[in-house]
Amino acid sequence: MAAPALTSRAGSVNSLGNSPTATPSSTNNNKIIPSYPELDFRSGARIEDLNRLIQEFSKHDQREYDDQRALEIHTAKDFIFSMLGMVQKLDQKLPVANEYLLLSGGVREGVVDMDLDELGVYARGTDYDMDFTLLVPALKLHDRNQPVTLDMRHSALCHSWLSLRLFDEGTINKWKDCCTMVDHINGATNYFFSPTLVADWFYESISVVLVEIQKKPQRGMPRVEKVERNGTIISVILGVGSSRMLYDILPVVSFKGWPAVAQSWLMENHFWDGKITEEEVISGFYLVPACSHKGRKENEWRLSFARSEVQLKKCISASLMQAYQACKAIIIKLLSRPKAISPYHLRSMMLWACDRLPATYLSQEDFSAHFLLGLIDDLQNCLVNKMCPNYFIPQCNMLEHLSDETAMLHARKLSSVRSDPAEHLRTTIEHAKAANRLTLDLHWRGSASNLPSPQSDAGGEHQPDDRLAKKLQQLVTENPGKSISVFINPDDVTRPHFRIDDKFF
């Protein structure tokens, strides 16, 4: 990675020598030292050009929401929450008072640590316009006086089985059909909460509810364009007006507090120290339905710190986030086959970089190019060494399962990016432009036709208040990329309570 010239460095101009990355133009004994643009040593690309390309990508990758789009997002979200309220009423399995975690970006974007092998191929612009991930607790352990006991004896690091012995008899009876059973010598039966069986139940329940909803369509109701199960993830694409929203919905187990296996991480110094409180970082964690590569799919869950990552994101500079988004867009296209690397690996490396590098360096506004090149270097190094530690549980190597052949294949692909980052950025920009054009074309076709569907609101008396539109637009623009926790009462789904980080609405 090219090291940026530090103008505050002590020493005379002579200390810069004739380095091709030197920027000042001065005289030495009446001899003019030419001024060179700052270059990337490996590729020869101008740092200024790379910064400009990253800025251009960010402009096309970030979608702006007008009042209409904000209302469409709100309508789709309400529909999803109402659907989940009806799922709860089916057999009372889900908690009555539940707290969802809504993340901006789908599972394919790396917002949670899930395996992407079984996911269908969806593309922004072609299949959807906006994507979200929704974590729906099937079980909650939120009593801080209750110890968090996870059975990790049969699992790889960062994974666990979950025994229902932690719960009361009523909970066991409700969920025993979604459990695997292990009989002990003393004759007792232990029920282990099964991620695959829970996903089976969740998909069937959502399908039943959607069939019932569509039997009695209401004005203004979103169009259900696709419902698909991808492994343990239920993907729902909704059409609202001219917008298409992808929701990746995951059944999870929600915990308050912090797991013992990650306690040592709290003892280390981190980039977020002094910026946010430890209580905000360790407020809770999840078990998500994913297993290790040698684990038993029917029993093993994966620890997820998605709630903590939302808090940590507040402490990452805008220039580093821009570099991360650009790098992510490159690797999603380049390393898609075989699916050995996910954007979550890149996110973990970014967090490690934040711990490793000075905050004053990472906060430089015009260093996005250096950050992008560094992330590519870090990812290539991880592949060559088959080593990518989980940020919260460093003893867990997330690339341990990779074969030498797959690791080297991806490392060679990244080498081609590193030798010509500008060309790959240009390609990524063109992909973002094409996706935006598809979205705009769909929007204009929908506006031009102006033909209400049987599920659309044909009447004018139920048009939303303009004040609501303005409020929604304000929430969207003021909280980009933040998580939204939603408290919802299934008996009155018209009155959800939203929490965006620590704000209530």
Q: What is the DSSP string of 7-44?
A: TT-SS-GGGGTT-TT----EEETTEEEPP---B-TTT-
Sign of the Cα pseudo-torsion (77, 79, 82, 88, in order): negative
Sequence-distant (6+) residues with CB within 8 A of 277 are none
Q: How confident is the model at residue 200 (pLDDT cuts 50, 70, 90)?
A: very high
In this predicted structure, the answer to whether residue 22 has a pLDDT above a threshold of 80 is: no
Higher local confidence (pLDDT), 306 or 20: 306
pLDDT of residue 31: 66
Structure tokens at 124: 């922004």
Of 85-89, 182-186, 240-244, 329-333, which has the strongest mean pLDDT?
A: 85-89
What is the distance of C-alpha 167 from the center of its chain? 30
Structure tokens at 190: 């232990």
203 and 234 Cβ atoms separated by less than 8 Å: yes
Tens of pLDDT, residues 269-305 = 999 999 999 999 998 999 999 999 888 999 999 999 9
pLDDT of residue 480: 57
User: How do strand 243-256 and strand 130-141 relate by DSSP bridges?
Assistant: parallel
Q: How confident is the model at residue 189 (pLDDT cuts 50, 70, 90)?
A: confident
In this predicted structure, the answer to whether residue 399 has a pLDDT above a threshold of 90 is: yes
- Nearest CA among 128, 129, 137, 141 for reference residue 84: 137
In this prediction the pTM is 0.81
Q: What angle do CA 339, 482, 291 make, to 5 degrees?
A: 35
pLDDT of residue 429: 95
CATH of 47-442, one of 3.40.50.300, 3.30.460.80, 3.40.30.10, 3.30.460.90: 3.30.460.90
Bridge partners, 224 (sequence order): 238
Cα(404)–Cα(224) distance, rounded to whole angstroms? 43
Mean pLDDT of 10-33: 47
Higher local confidence (pLDDT), 467 or 125: 125
Higher local confidence (pLDDT), 217 or 475: 217
In this predicted structure, the answer to whether residue 188 has a pLDDT above a threshold of 90 is: no
Mean pLDDT of 232-247: 94
In this predicted structure, the answer to whether residue 186 has a pLDDT above a threshold of 80 is: no
In this predicted structure, the answer to whether residue 496 has a pLDDT above a threshold of 50 is: no
Place of tokens 């789009």: 69
Of 78-82, 139-143, 160-164, the range with the lowest mean pLDDT is: 139-143
Total Cβ atoms within 10 A of residue 444: 11
Give domain limits for the chain: 47-442
Share of the chain above pLDDT 70, in %: 77
User: How do strand 484-489 and strand 98-104 relate by DSSP bridges?
Assistant: antiparallel
Containing 414, the helix (H) or strand (E) segment is: helix 404-419
